[in-house]
Amino acid sequence: MHTWRSSHRSRRARTVGVAAVSLAALLMSGCSTGSSAGSASPAAAEAALTPLPSTTPAALTPYYGQKLSWRDCGVPGFQCATMKAPLDYAKPGDGDIKLAVARKKATGPGKRIGSLLVNPGGPGGSAVGYLQQYAGIGYPAEVRARYDMVAVDPRGVARSEPVKCLDGRDMDAYTQTDVTPDDQRETDGLVDAYQEFAESCGARSAKVLRHVSSVEAARDMDVLRAALGDRKLTYVGASYGTFLGATYAGLFPTRVGRLVLDGALDPSLPARRLNLDQTAGFETAFRSFSEDCAREKDCPLGTDPAKIGPNLKAFFDRLDARPLPTGDADGRRLTESLATTGVIAAMYDESAWEQLREALTTAMRQNDGAGLLVLSDSYYERDADGGYSNLMPANAAVNCLDLPPAFNGPDEVRRALPEFERTSPVFGEGLAWSSLNCAYWPVAPTGEPHRIEAKGAAPIVVVGTTRDPATPYRWAQSLSRQLSSARLLTYEGDGHTAYGRGSTCIDSTINTYLLKGTAPAEGKRCS
User: In Å, how far are 253, 449, 452, 517 from 47, measured between CA atoms?
Assistant: 17, 8, 9, 30
Catalytic (active site) residue 239? yes
pLDDT digits (tens, 9 = 90+) for 214-241: 999 999 999 999 999 999 999 999 999 9
Provide the pLDDT for residue 42: 38
* pLDDT score, position 11: 35
Residue 179 φ/ψ, nearest 5 degrees: -105, 20
Cβ–Cβ < 8 Å for 235, 435: no
At residue 36 the predicted structure's pLDDT band, cuts being 50, 70 and 90, is: very low
CA pair distance 406, 40, nearest whole angstrom: 11
Question: How sure is the predictor about 192, in pLDDT bands with cuts at 50, 70 and 90?
Answer: very high
pLDDT computed for residue 4 by the predictor:
53
Whole-number Å distance between alpha carbons of 340 and 317: 11
Q: How confident is the model at residue 3 (pLDDT cuts 50, 70, 90)?
A: low
* Among 7, 239, 288, 434, the one annotated catalytic: 239
pLDDT at position 44 is: 43
Report the alpha-carbon distance of residue 345 to residue 314 in Å, rounded.
19
pLDDT band at 133 (very low <50, low <70, confident <90, very high): very high
Give tens-digit pLDDT for 473-495.
999 999 999 999 999 999 999 99
Active site residue 468: yes
pLDDT band (50, 70, 90) for residue 46: low
On the question of pLDDT at 431 being above 90, the answer is: yes
C-beta separation of 106 from 132 below 8 A: no
Quick one: average pLDDT of 280-289?
A: 96
The pLDDT tens digits for 138-179 are: 999 999 999 999 999 999 999 999 999 999 999 999 999 999
Coil vs helix vs strand at 501: coil
CA distances in angstroms from 275 to 1, 177, 445, 500, listed in the order given: 8, 20, 17, 26
Residue type, 498: A
Cα(262)–Cα(78) distance, integer angstroms? 25
| Bridge partner residues of 382 (DSSP) | 388
Could you give the CA distance from residue 329 to residue 307 in angstroms, rounded to a whole number?
35
Q: What is the pLDDT of residue 38?
A: 35
Q: How confident is the model at residue 25 (pLDDT cuts 50, 70, 90)?
A: very low
CA dist., res. 187 & res. 208, Å (int): 30
The C-alpha angle with vertex 459 and arms to 458 and 465, in degrees rounded to 5, equals: 145
Give the side-chain half-sphere CA count within 13 A for 333.
12
Is the per-residue pLDDT at 8 higher than 90?
no
Share of the chain above pLDDT 90, in %: 91
Q: What is the DSSP string of 409-457?
A: SHHHHHHHHHHHHHH-TTTHHHHHHHTTGGGG-SS-------B---TTP
What is the arithmetic mean of pLDDT over 188-200? Answer: 98
DSSP, collapsed to helix, strand or coil, labels residue 237 as strand
Whether 470 shows a pLDDT value over 90: the answer reads yes
Residue 149 to residue 224: CA distance in whole angstroms: 13
Q: What are the CA-CA distances from residue 213 to residues 203, 220, 445 (Å)? A: 19, 11, 9
pLDDT in tens, 70-107: 999 999 999 999 999 999 999 998 999 999 999 999 99
Q: Hey, which bits of 190-241 come out as E strands?
A: 233-238
Average pLDDT over residues 325-330: 96
- Assess contact for 404 and 33: CB atoms under 8 A: yes
> Which among 126, 138, 29 is positioned nearest to 73, based on CA atoms?
126
Residue 378 annotated as catalytic: no
Catalytic residue among 126, 496, 503, 507: 496
Tell me, what's the pLDDT at 469?
A: 94
Coil, helix or strand at residue 106: coil
The band of 396, judged by pLDDT with boundaries at 50, 70 and 90, is: very high
Cα 479 from Cα 264, distance rounded (Å): 7
Q: How confident is the model at residue 12 (pLDDT cuts 50, 70, 90)?
A: very low
Residue 31 pLDDT level (bands cut at 50, 70, 90): very low
Average the pLDDT over each of 36-45, 328-337, 467-476, 489-498 and give the range with the smallest value: 36-45
Residue 467: its H or E element: strand 460-467
Looking at every residue in the chain, the average pLDDT score rounds to 92
**pLDDT for the residue numbered 123:** 96
What's the sign of the alpha-carbon dihedral 347, 349, 350, 356?
negative
Its pTM stands at 0.92
The predicted pLDDT at position 39 comes to 36
Cβ(115)–Cβ(228) below 8 Å: yes
- What is the length of the chain? 527
The one-letter amino acid code at 141 reads A
pLDDT at residue 14 is higher than 60? no
Instruction: Choose the catalytic residue: 178, 266, 349, 468.
Output: 468
The pLDDT of 316-335, averaged and rounded, is 97
Whether residue 319 has pLDDT greater than 50: yes
